[in-house]
Structure 1
Amino acid sequence: MKIIKWIKRIAMALFLLLIVLLITGFIFEKISRAIAEKIKPDGQITEVGNHKMHYLKEGTGGPTVVFETAFDPAGHLQWYHIQKDLPKTYTTFSYDRSGILWSERGTNPKTGEKIAEELHALLEKSKAPKPYILVGHSFGGMLTRFFVQKYPQDVAGVILIDSQYPADEKYLSPELHGMVNQGLPGGFLKFANTFGAARLMFRNMFPLSPQYKYQNSIMPALLYKSADATLEEQDHMKSIKTEAAGITSFGSIPLYVLTAGDKTRYDSFIKDPKFKTEMLEAWDKMQKDLLNLSTDSKQIVLPTSGHYINQDQPKIVEEAVNEMVKKVTAQ
């Protein structure tokens, strides 16, 4: 009987400790959000449709290099260091998709077409000089297909940075396809976001070098704003991929495909050697297939870079952007 009593006491103590931790976390989150609300945007805010959107524009004159972010709560911050380093003799433009960081969510559905429409309206409102060179990383690379399809007359070039391939089931076994497309645990992350744990989990999302000090301070501070919209994009991922797979040609619009080549880049989440080999081989095939989007395309493989080429080797991205600018302005 004494053992049962002690078990009950320990269980009650653990329960009370959990309640205290949740209350503490909730209060911590409320205070953190109040502080974050005072952070001023680093770019500009403008009305798009029925909501406000945030963008960062650098440089003057055309063309405008337009950065599209991956499936990522960091929004425009993924391009912040690159924009600061690129020449100011042409315009660079990054933004936060609806619901991310300083952009309001609005009411448009999270479809590829609506995301393209919002971006185009934002570019028009900001008076970004045409033509546009689209630079898309991962999920953002897939989203460029919708923009090119809808506004081909405004697009002078496209740079895909380790872009997602929408019809990946063509190259992956059912087991591996399910593994790499399972997504984030939405319910857990929403819970963690409410009780202050999410901002701690994502506090060092960027490298810990001085170059990323600003990003590492802003992203977790504003994660509470970005989390729901990011998870909403995940909910629409399957339908976006299906629609993107139907967009198979950019015509003769110049295209660069930057591909990660580090053979160890999947080690952290694919433990089975057979699946890891399959993933590496499949990704190489998908990246080569992306070249067929344009009659004027070339691939740049980076043997020492992981998926986040914009963090691992930003200078290569900058070189590709400058080369594309020269190419389209010489035409």
Structure 2
Amino acid sequence: MKKIFKWSKRIGLGLIILLLLLLFIGFFFEKASRNKAEKINPNGNFVNLEYHRLHYYKKGSGGPTVVFEAAFDPSGHLQWYHIQEKLPINYTSISYDRAGVLWSDRGNNPKSGEEIAKELHLLLEKSNAPKPCILVRHSFGGTLVRFFVNKYPDDIAGVLLVDTQCPNDEKYSSTKLFKMVNQGLPGGFLKFANTFGLARLMFKSMFPNGKQYEYQNSIMPALLYKSAYAVLEEQDKMSSMKKEASKINSFGNIPLYVLTTTDNKRYNSFIKDDKLKLEMINSWDKMQSDFLLLSTKSKQIFVPKSGHCINQEQPKAIENVINDMVNNLTYPSKFYI
């Protein structure tokens, strides 16, 4: 018995030493990777706000300007990069990184819906983006769009919601489903993993495999050490942002397109309970249809064979709707700058 205890103690000590060694290696690997990442040239440009810079990627010229907003995601403008590359250049498109994400500085402004809208508006002004704008938002971006619409309605020619989040989603689901869907990321663990190089390995392939995503899959993990903290901060403030966004329930007569997935298998890997899965499908479908009430000029478009990430699984559907919105746009020349 003593021998077993003695050997168990030795094995336990050995495992602890091995773990510490791996953490030591991971720490210096992470430090070296960050130094290397600092030398990566941004693919876009910067605008200077009052105390910090925001990075944006701009293509095309002339109006209108299609403005992309990322979801709750550390990949920032890279979510839209492959779509922007496919859009015509006879109008302007802009995607950007929110404060603290990828190449954007964090700055001192609070992470609130109103401040995010202000920062984006300043970016568009300082980058000389032609007005009016068509706002394209995915997932959490659909919550943030309400602040921009509420504050700058005269700058907007249309809104495209891509399978977006509903800010008052608690009224559409049971307590059990709501808690499961909104449990969030494990902040403490991810901060630990970010320090010792584990996070960049965990999120190494956030985008699908394939040539059109090679750039995104190289940049996102390289700059994750910065983006992770901004995303976790947004998670901490998400409840208050959703609460404020739910008070903004009208876009007036701004044209609104709602792009919605219809694949009933989209939650199979996320929800194992069949009853909860059906509830999730029904509640999400109801939320999407209720978005039509936001505008007097609204239209819903269904996208088959796609999960929540339509921008990756069916990007052509988004491209087609954007081009349709641009081609059917009528606006006075006074909007140009």
Asked if Structure 1 and Structure 2 have the same fold, meaning a TM-score greater than 0.5 normalized by the shorter chain, the answer is: yes
- Counterpart of 2:39 in structure 1 is 38
Partner of 2:90: 89
Residue 10 (structure 2) pairs with residue 9 (structure 1): yes
Equivalent residue number for residue 248 of structure 1:
249
User: After TM superposition, which residue ranges in structure 1, 4 or more long, deviate above 6 angstroms?
Assistant: none
Partners of 1:17 and 1:221 in 2: CA distance: 26
Deviation at 1:291, TM superposition (A): 0.6
**Deviation by residue 1:125-177 (Cα, 9 ceiling, x = unmatched):** 10000001000000011111100000001011000000101111111001100
Q: Tell me, in whole angstroms, the C-alpha distance in 2 between the residues paired with 1:90 and 1:133.
A: 11
**SS at 2:328's partner residue?**
helix
Mapped to 2, the partners of 1:207 and 1:65 lie a distance apart of 24
- SS of 1:250's equivalent? coil
Please tell me the residue identity of whatever aligns with 2:40.
Answer: I
What does 1:171-210 align with in structure 2 at a 5 Å threshold? Answer: 171-210=172-211
Deviations 1:238-258 (A, max 9, x none): 011111110000000000000
What is the rounded CA distance, in whole Å, between the counterparts of 1:320 and 1:293 in structure 2? 19
* 2:239 corresponds to 1:238: yes
2:147 partner letter: F
The code of the aligned residue for 1:134 comes to: L
Q: Deviations over 1:41-63 (max 9, x none)?
A: 00001211210110001000000
SS state at 1:257 partner: strand
Q: State the partner residue of 2:120.
A: 119
Amino acid at match of 2:93: T
Match of 1:284 in 2: 285
Partners of 1:114 and 1:49 lie apart in 2 by 13
Q: Does 1:165 align with 2:166?
A: yes
Distance (whole Å) between structure 1 residues aligned to residue 224 and residue 285 of structure 2: 33
What are the ranges of 5 or more consecutive residues in structure 1 without an aligned counterpart? none
2:322 corresponds in structure 1 to: 321
Output one character per residue of 1:30-85: Cα deviation in whole Å (capped at 9) or x when no partner.
01001100000000012112101100010000000000000000000000011110
> How far apart, CA to CA, are the structure 2 residues paired with 1:51 and 1:7?
54
User: Which residue of structure 2 aligns with residue 213 of structure 1?
Assistant: 214
Are residues 1:132 and 2:133 paired?
Answer: yes
Distance 1:49 1:56 in 2: 20
* Structure 1 counterpart SS, 2:183: coil
The residue matched to 2:143 in structure 1 has which SS?
helix
Counterpart position of 1:260:
261
| Deviation at residue 268 of structure 1 after TM alignment | 1.1
SS state at 1:271 partner: coil
1:57 matched to which residue of 2? 58
Distance of 1:155 and 1:49 partners within structure 2: 24
2:298 maps to 297
Give the secondary-structure state (helix, strand or coil) at the position aligned to 1:256: strand
Sequence identity percentage: 66
Q: Distance in 1 between matches of 2:45 and 2:331?
A: 31
Supply the AA of the counterpart residue of 1:186.
Answer: G
1:78-103 CA deviation, whole Å, 9 max, x = no partner? 00011110000000000000000000
Q: What is the letter of the counterpart of residue 310 of structure 2?
A: I
Partner Cα separation in structure 2 for residue 33 and residue 329 of structure 1: 47
The one-letter amino acid paired with 1:91 is T
Shift of 1:329: 3.3
CA distance in 2 between counterparts of 1:56 and 1:186 reads 29
Distance in 2 between residues matched to 1:93 and 1:142, nearest whole Å: 19
Aligned length: 331
SS in 2 for 1:299: strand
SS at match of 1:104: coil
Q: 1:330 offset after TM fit, Å?
A: 6.5
Look up the match of 1:27. Answer: 28
Partner of 1:328, secondary structure, is: coil
TM-score (norm 2): 0.97
Encode CA deviations 1:270-298: one digit per residue, 9 max, x unaligned.
Answer: 11000000000000000000011100000
Correspondence for 1:47:
48
- Aligned-partner Cα distance in 1 for 2:293–2:266: 25
User: Aligned partners of 2:168, 2:203: CA distance in 1, in Å?
Assistant: 30
Long gaps (5+) in structure 2: 333-337
1:152-211 per-residue CA deviation (whole Å, 9 max, x = no partner) reads 010110000001011111110011001100100000000000000000000100000111
